[in-house]
Structure 1
């Protein structure tokens, strides 16, 4: 255990007014209390009171630990992690520190602190009374914030508390108290809700299969109907999705389809409202319209309506290229960083994510080729000899032939290898650190996205095969949280199936039949080499996918990940960060629009024949 986590004596803690310091926080949240403890420690240290400062540092380490109720394995985890270190984790506290924490439970009347102390003791010592106490105090802490209309600061308390209460038994009074509180709040929110609190509460009822599905669906739809005309259409659609989820669980597919059509109509209205708006325009409109069309298709809407909207989508897509803007700067990356931050700052979460997705272009393969050939002409000796690409352990992984050859095929291989090499060593690292990570940090700082809030990216998205949405969602969320050790394991395998999905949607065959009549699916490298894939995704997006995932002179991330060559620190590299951003970009653009166009054309042709 580090010296900073060594527990002060009980006498030293008692001598400090730490509860009063906690109550001085702007809001009774872990973040605000942590700030107060940190400031007090610095103040006492400066005054020469190292003993008093150690008390607040110790308490701050406890409070600064991040509550992550969605993480079943580590609900209390380090607040930050990097390849070189992390903040405090509960396992850093030795037995003496754990004894001190257990004593602190009875020393405070602040619900948030009692909940944290009890939860840590439960996780470290598996004392069920501590789990019960933590659940009780989490509910009290959330009610305190909810009463002051600051529920968003610590909704995680309610999620963690109900999870602990449910663990103690579905018929346990504590769990029933949670359900009763949620149902009571939803009853009042049905006519007053203007934010996402209702969605969060309804999700908890659904997760724990509590309450009446019909009542929950009615409340969700009622709130959505009230929010839709007020300009909160994103939020209204979240409520429609939840209502549909309850109806689906209840076997009422007629209402599921009705709500799908209602959601589609909302998307069409929002798409039309985007035209002519600063920062939105046809690009954002095509995203909403593509999702609307998918909603209508999945909900069995009138085919004539779908075809009409599809025609409108094609017309709008033709107008998007004139709206796309990119950053163009010299070497001074501070300008890129500032521009990246400003491009997403102050926007609503969906608009900020769309801005991040399109605010920087993918590599223009034609321009990169010209650049590479220019270098070859200006510095021919550097390309006179063939080159070998070696792994970290000295193994030769690939050969790049000499570019100074009369054999066109060999020369083309050399040019392409150098293109991937330059992208991987110049373009992608710069974009990752100066642009992508800057946008990511700004969005996270302002919004702290949750799974629920990111669903707009994946629901009814034509790039994602049905049933794969939660996997994409978890990979994207992990990126916003900085958990890049998780990101590639969720996203890399899914991209391959997504490519197959959009090809199948366009009527193309993605499998092959061998001499033994065994039908195997084509692998990612082969899929990305198909002209149909290039036609659907565009040459530049395919170049990025190949370079990041497949090419030896690029990052070869798919192969390295599949064979265990990616170390823990590697997960924070430019390859993973660029892949994460590229996935969000493909989901934002509707990347599979061409597949849908081809499928529609094929259906029309078959209908005429």
Structure 2
């Protein structure tokens, strides 16, 4: 870019074509963007001086058209994703404004424009949801799976029935999910060459999946992100089926045949090696709440305790779980950061780490930890398949670590008894 002296001398050379471009944009937008660009000379200098590409002009003018002609936009949205396009245009304009050097922002009201554009982006984001349709697939008959889950849990002693519930599903296998996604990419390559955007229920863009690059022989970092996002999406679908066909039917039988108490779950948590010291009461209350059908309470208790559990076991292996800033203040890292540590897979295994990410802290997944922390979950969300599965996964971890420790202890006692019998015979 030239310095300011060169800019002032060359401004007249670029002013005319830029003004012509502005005029063309205004005409294309039925003059609705005119208010945005009524100072052609100022915009010409601004455009050239700051190196802002012409896309900002198109973005603002196109967005202005949709803002000023909402009735036309609503009609067009029947045939095309008009509000989605507008939302994208606002996003591009905001990004370009943010690239303006800080010392020049006040003179050009950059901060004011960003605030205004953010409000318009939020509005079009909400309207984007009205343009989306529901894609339905044929239903799946899970009657046999439900009956099988009931039979596995029925007519057993309480501890055996609880064991059956905790192991009603083996958990997801990350290698299998990955292989399935890669196989689909190879079979249907066209559907992967387009990027995708994930919106929240209030119209915010919360995640973007890049397009697959089919040319390289090796998977790029961008391709890996696409594969991971697709794995998490598949996981969400399998999760719903698992909850409806296995977890809830087995839980219903357990509740019908056995009346467990909160104290039972607290005691179970107290003797489970995965539960950190001093957290048995909280884990026990959470597990009992889910057993009792109160998944709202269960989720609110479990999510922070799971994060603390992960942090505790990572610390025990020597992993660094905090961040030290320039002023010497040390803060604990959140679950998303903890999941990215290399030690995490060593401690919990890659399958469980994937489930933790997909359930609690990935924007492509259910993101329960962050949604809960920001108060974004409503009553229905706390009773969703993801919330029920999160409770069941916690039960599985707490129960099975206790069960395995108990089994190992019994084996050790039997071994000691046999050795004692051998010595007495001798």
**TM-score, normalising length from structure 1?**
0.42
Q: Which has the larger radius of gyration?
A: 2
Match of 2:181 in 1: 372
**Map 1:127-526 → 2, pairs under 5 A:** 332-405=141-214, 406=216, 408-424=220-236, 426-526=237-337
Match of 1:528 in 2: 339
Select which of 524, 534, 537 maps to 2:348: 537
- For residue 388 of structure 1, give the secondary structure of its aligned residue in structure 2: strand
- For residue 495 of structure 1, give the secondary structure of its aligned residue in structure 2: helix
- For residue 463 of structure 1, give the secondary structure of its aligned residue in structure 2: coil
| Pair 1:562-2:373 in alignment | yes
Q: Cα distance, 1:457 vs. partner? A: 2.3
Query: CA contact under 8 A between 1:400 and 1:413: conserved in structure 2?
Result: yes
Q: Cα distance, 1:474 vs. partner? A: 1.1
Match of 2:359 in 1: 548
**TM-score, normalising length from structure 2?**
0.59
Separation (CA, whole Å) in 2 of partners of 1:413 and 1:508: 25
Number of matched pairs = 264
The C-alpha deviation readout for 1:451-507, integer Å capped at 9, x for no partner, is 122234201322112111111111111111111121111000111100111122233
Separation (CA, whole Å) in 2 of partners of 1:593 and 1:529: 28
Query: CA contact under 8 A between 2:262 and 2:285: conserved in structure 1?
Result: yes
Match of 1:30 in 2: none
Query: CA contact under 8 A between 2:265 and 2:285: conserved in structure 1?
Result: no
Structure 1: segments with no counterpart, 5+ residues: 1-329, 595-609
Q: Cα distance, 1:379 vs. partner? A: 1.6
Separation (CA, whole Å) in 2 of partners of 1:583 and 1:370: 27
The C-alpha deviation readout for 1:246-279, integer Å capped at 9, x for no partner, is xxxxxxxxxxxxxxxxxxxxxxxxxxxxxxxxxx
Separation (CA, whole Å) in 2 of partners of 1:347 and 1:403: 50
Query: CA contact under 8 A between 1:463 and 1:592: conserved in structure 2?
Result: no
Separation (CA, whole Å) in 2 of partners of 1:540 and 1:559: 21
Structure 1 pair 462–373 and aligned structure 2 pair: CA distance change class (3 A): same
- For residue 589 of structure 1, give the secondary structure of its aligned residue in structure 2: helix
Q: Cα distance, 1:592 vs. partner? A: 13
Q: Cα distance, 1:513 vs. partner? A: 2.0
The C-alpha deviation readout for 1:263-302, integer Å capped at 9, x for no partner, is xxxxxxxxxxxxxxxxxxxxxxxxxxxxxxxxxxxxxxxx
The C-alpha deviation readout for 1:35-83, integer Å capped at 9, x for no partner, is xxxxxxxxxxxxxxxxxxxxxxxxxxxxxxxxxxxxxxxxxxxxxxxxx
Query: CA contact under 8 A between 1:336 and 1:435: conserved in structure 2?
Result: yes
The C-alpha deviation readout for 1:322-361, integer Å capped at 9, x for no partner, is xxxxxxxx95411211111111111222221222112311
Query: CA contact under 8 A between 1:372 and 1:418: conserved in structure 2?
Result: yes
- For residue 331 of structure 2, give the secondary structure of its aligned residue in structure 1: strand
Separation (CA, whole Å) in 1 of partners of 2:199 and 2:244: 25
Separation (CA, whole Å) in 1 of partners of 2:267 and 2:145: 28
Separation (CA, whole Å) in 1 of partners of 2:399 and 2:205: 38
Separation (CA, whole Å) in 2 of partners of 1:553 and 1:502: 26
| Stretch of structure 1 that moved more, 360-369 or 521-530 | 521-530
Q: Cα distance, 1:531 vs. partner? A: 2.2
Query: CA contact under 8 A between 1:462 and 1:593: conserved in structure 2?
Result: no
The C-alpha deviation readout for 1:346-405, integer Å capped at 9, x for no partner, is 122222122211231111100100101111111222211000000111111110111234
Structure 1 pair 341–456 and aligned structure 2 pair: CA distance change class (3 A): farther
The C-alpha deviation readout for 1:184-215, integer Å capped at 9, x for no partner, is xxxxxxxxxxxxxxxxxxxxxxxxxxxxxxxx
Structure 1 pair 410–592 and aligned structure 2 pair: CA distance change class (3 A): farther
Match of 1:127 in 2: none
